[in-house]
Amino acid sequence: MSRAVQIGVSLLITAAALWYSLHGVEFGEFLHDLSDARLVWIGPLAATAAASLWLRARRWQILLATLGPLGDTPVFDATNIGFMGNMVLPLRAGEAIKPIVVARSGYVSIPAALATVALERLCDLIMLGMMGVLAIVLVPQADFLQGKTSLLVGAVGVALVGVVAVIRLSPWLERQLDTIAGWLPAFLSRIVKEAGRGFLHSLSGLADLRVLVSVSVYTALIWAVAAAGFMAVALALDISAPLIPLGIATTVIVALAVSVPSAPGFIGVFWAGSELALGLFGVEKSMGFTFGFLSWIVQLIVIVSMGMWSMSRLKLSFGDVREVASSESEAASSPEVP
């Protein structure tokens, strides 16, 4: 699918989400509820957004370390810049920017780093599946989720079995990968080899109990902190609902909503996911929109601020990132010296 088509689809989904999230909202009530928000809970909400970035950087550093020494690789700064990219650039471009930033240190290649990003997403999907099952148990009124219990349990089970199988078969898979790469032009061969080996090596690293426990704990903390952020918003707006079920259900539904293609910053889809989640607890739509908007704007400010701070620390601009990506592509396309 061409980039233009992807952007077009993203804009269509965003338009539909905006219509859903804004339709029926009483903007007078929205402004009133927003002005009545208890500011004492905005600090904890901002803190959860910042903590989430730090936790993600720590987990990514563990996965990257399975590929080799990292030296002074700026993993935390790369995480901040990548998430800022997701907020201000189309098509979740930040996921590609993260590997480019860490590759500047010279310790890991872009394809290998990108492979570890894919492994991060796999860890997140498994944890979200577990949280989805928990949400179904804690929120019995979620009728549209009730029939999905077996599907979620099955998906998590398949993912875990797949991880174990890949770890066990890693040497064989790497040999097959080398064979396939040998059929490709030098440019594609290098990318396939480095990305494939990066994914297999980082996944095989999970066979080390310390790595597995560390990655699992950080993944659980990442999503627990996300749920805590939504609980802080509920407290700020004085929403009468059980906090833990609300936090977990909102985390799962909003995560699913923002996973679809959309405009930069997840405009529309974040708000729509919030309204759907709060609707499970009988919260009216205007308050659901206020909840979604307040969560979104605080996270946007924190993530963009931390991203700009990291770019300043590294003396980096988006133009520099594009230049690094181009030079990497040129290096990959050059013939390998035997």
Predicted confidence band of residue 143 (pLDDT cuts 50, 70, 90): low
Cβ atoms within 10 Å of 5's Cβ, excluding its own: 9
* Residues contacting 300, CB < 8 A, separation 6+: 87, 265
Which candidate, 16, 15, 17, places its Cα nearest to that of 292? 17
Which of 225, 287, 241 has its CA nearest to residue 26?
A: 287
Higher pLDDT, 162 or 156: 162
User: What does the DSSP assignment read for 60-96?
Assistant: HHHHHHTTS--TT--HHHHHHHHHHHHHHSSTTTHHH
The count of residues in the chain is: 338
Quickly list DSSP for 31-65: HHHHHT--GGGHHHHHHHHHHHHHHHHHHHHHHHH
User: Given a cut of 60, is residue 326 above it in pLDDT?
Assistant: no
Q: How far apart are CA 251 and CA 274, in angstroms?
A: 9
Residues 269-302: tens digit of each pLDDT: 999 999 999 999 999 999 999 999 999 999 999 9
- On the 0-12 / 13-18 / 19+ scale of CB atoms within 10 A, 3 is exposed
Question: From CA 252, how far away is CA 58, in angstroms rounded?
Answer: 22
Render 207-250 in DSSP notation, one character per residue: GSHHHHHHHHHHHHHHHHHHHHHHHHHHHHTT--S-HHHHHHHH
Q: Which residue has the tokens 């002074």?
A: 72
3, pLDDT greater than 80: no
Q: What is the pLDDT of residues 46-76, one digit of tens each?
A: 999 999 999 999 999 999 999 999 999 999 9
* Lookup result for tokens 């690789």: 73
DSSP secondary structure letter of residue 335: P
State if pTM tops 0.75: yes
Q: Tell me what pLDDT residue 159 has.
A: 82
* Residues near 179 by beta carbon (within 8 Å), at least 6 away in sequence: none
